[in-house]
Chains A and B, each alone.
Chain A
Amino acid sequence: MSDNTTIASYKRLEDRSKITNLLLRWFLYFILILFASYFIFPLYVMLVTAFKTMPEIRQGNLLTWPSQLNFESWAVAWGGRGYGAGDTFLRPYFWNSIKMVVPAVFFSTFIGAMTGYVLTKWRFKGDSWVFLFLLFGCFIPYQAILLPMARTLGVLGISNSILGLVVVHSIYGIPFTTLFFRNYYVSIPNELIKAARIDGAGFFKIFFKILLPISTPIIVVTVIWQFTQIWNDFLFGATFSFGEAAPIQVALNNMVLSSTSVKEYNVDMASAIIAGFPTLIVYVLAGKYFIRGLTSGAVKG
């Protein structure tokens, strides 16, 4: 008899916990959906606005789906209207940004990898101080280096040029990339380097043949990080370049702010999406590695 009552009470408890779990689960989903929409909403507005015509936008229905997909605003944002003066469009600046971002990402990543390698595998006296000072670089605000950097670029004769921006971004990226690579290489056993030294490999051979091939996760992390930073940078671009040498974020700003006549919201939105597109692509292509690279790091055996 006592057995039956025990079973019954267990059953009651089980039912109750089932209901509680279900309620909590729904509450969780509700919260998640709420936050997700909060983040997706602006993107949605941008997208639908970019595809609308100006008359449709003027009707004021921010959220409605465009009556028909209008690609003209995208064409205008990318290639302009075709008349001469005052026509700002993104195409040349997009390529400016590509020309800036590719070498800058490459150099900052490469130098960071080398520095991280030296700081972990070829320790020298005072190396922790070097690392500490490099870390300081991560915390120096952009504004603080504007004037000295402008002067330096002037002296070097590369102000207002893509090359100048490449140099600035490469240097400014080194503290971050070094931090990434150093933390990754710290987890790789030093015995690997010892083994390679006994096998007769030197400084560069060990780096290129043994460490780099197992650095893919952290390279991807660094590239994504640097690409996003450099591509989205406005301050350095606006300060150290103008006119034809400007990167896309500066051009976007000029385009949106300097419209003399009517505000063309659809073109503005299309431009903003184009300007943000490459970082999106990088994330989609390499996002998987991004998470993996941030969380893991240890290479066993």
Chain B
Amino acid sequence: MIALKIQDLSKNFGSTEVLKKINLKIDEGNFLVLLGPSGCGKSTLLNIIAGLETIDEGTVFIDDYDVSKVEPKDRNIAMVFQSYALYPSMSVKENMVFGLKQAKASKEKIEEQLKKFSNFLHVDELLNRKPSQLSGGQRQRVAIGRALVREPRIFLFDEPLSNLDAKLRVEMRREIKKLHQKLKTTVVYVTHDQTEAMSLGTNIAIMNHGIIQQYDTPENIYNKPNNTFVADFIGSPPMNLISGQLVKEANKTLFIPEGSGQSNNITIKNYNFVKTQDENSKDVYFGIRPEHIHYKKTNDNDIEFNLKTDLNEYIGHEQITTFNYFNQEVLGKFPSTIKIETNKEMKLFFDLSQISIFDKKTNNRI
């Protein structure tokens, strides 16, 4: 069953178009992550789903019901905010039951829900404290609790972990994942953090400039990016985009990197083109992720190179090395156990089964 559907949604702030014809669908029980750089419109989209922003064009459906004109409180949603947004003058308990009280739930019902979820989130001992007496993690837990007690159809999260320190962020991330596994409620989650998006989402919508660049599973987003924006946004370090030409010869397709003077080329095989390429030559980006550049042969699709190392960054569990490939920077990721020397030639293997090719003009995958 489709829990949330967004149809041709547009939104302007004055003359700036924040969202342009957004279409999105999410099945019940799924975890949708809206991912993008700041200013891409993801938070606006979430606010529109919540009913906190008006719509200029298009429709929002929750459970097949058009809620475009419905008040936030009647949409059967709950939201968790980046700044927690706990009511400062109220105790944890009052914070958690505020919504239920507004909805005029019975005293027994309120007590029951409070008990159930404060237990569930381990905040029962904090019930009489004020938000100012809580740590960041506790505040976020209470904020989630406040959303949970109403047992909404859809949970909306607006960058809930951004205000936490790195360690706590990872912990809370796991807790949110557990929560979703247990409750199986539909979630829409906004973040600019790709790790969060990848680890939490069952579906990710990558947004930029008010347009959804790709809406897919985390695996597809990572392995088959739709365009150079997605390829560049996801992955750390991002995908190498080597500029060059795609040339069709009698019975094979070649990639000729820029600056190689035709002498050096890569034969493309086993690559699934989105559609058959008619042109004989085309300006393209050859995309390969740093982890698909190996220091030893791993499979038959690997092709061998000798490249000079320019820079080596050691990060503990791995090391990231910058190579000079016809004056284009190419980054590789290797285990930290091998020894890499800078300014030396190194034997490398590009795994051709993992590449992506993008049209230079449209920036789209071909």
Contact = CB atoms under 8 A, between A and B. Distances in A.
A189 interface: yes
Contacts of B201: none
Interface of B: 47, 50-52, 72-73, 77-79, 81-89, 98-99, 102-103, 131-132, 134, 139, 146, 158
Interface stretch (A146-154, A196-204, A276-284): A196-204
Interface in A172-230: 189, 191-192, 194-201, 205, 209-210, 213-214
Please indicate which of the listed interface residues A191, A197, A199 has the most CB atoms of chain B within 10 Å of its own CB: A199
Contacts of B103: 200
Contacts of B84: 301
Given A191-B83, A301-B83, A198 B50 contact: yes
A197 B132 contact: no
21 contacts: A189-B85, A191-B82, A194-B47, A194-B50, A194-B72, A194-B81, A195-B79, A197-B72, A197-B73, A198-B52, A198-B72, A198-B77, A198-B78, A199-B73, A199-B146, A213-B88, A300-B132, A301-B84, A301-B88, A301-B134, A301-B139
A44 to B, nearest CB: 44
A299 interface: yes
Contacts of A195: 79, 81, 85-87, 146
Complex A-B, nearest 3 residue pairs according to Cβ-Cβ distance, in ascending order? A213-B89, A200-B102, A200-B73
B99 A214 contact: no
Please indicate which of the listed interface residues A192, A198, A201, A301 has the most CB atoms of chain B within 10 Å of its own CB: A198
Nearest to B142: A301
Contact of B85 (A192, A200, A205, A214): A192
A262 B99 CA distance: 71
B139 A198 contact: no
B98 A199 contact: yes
Nearest to A206: B87
Interface in A264-301: 299-301
A200 B158 CA distance: 19
B111 to A, nearest CB: 18
B102 A199 contact: yes
A200 B70 CA distance: 12
Contacts of B83: 189, 191, 301
Contacts of B77: 198
B88 A299 contact: yes
Contacts of B85: 189, 191-192, 194-195
Contacts of A200: 73, 99, 102-103
A46 B77 CA distance: 67
B73 A198 contact: yes
Contacts of A301: 83-84, 86, 88, 131-132, 134, 139
B34 to A, nearest CB: 17
A199 B147 CA distance: 9
B102 A194 contact: no
Contacts of A197: 52, 72-73
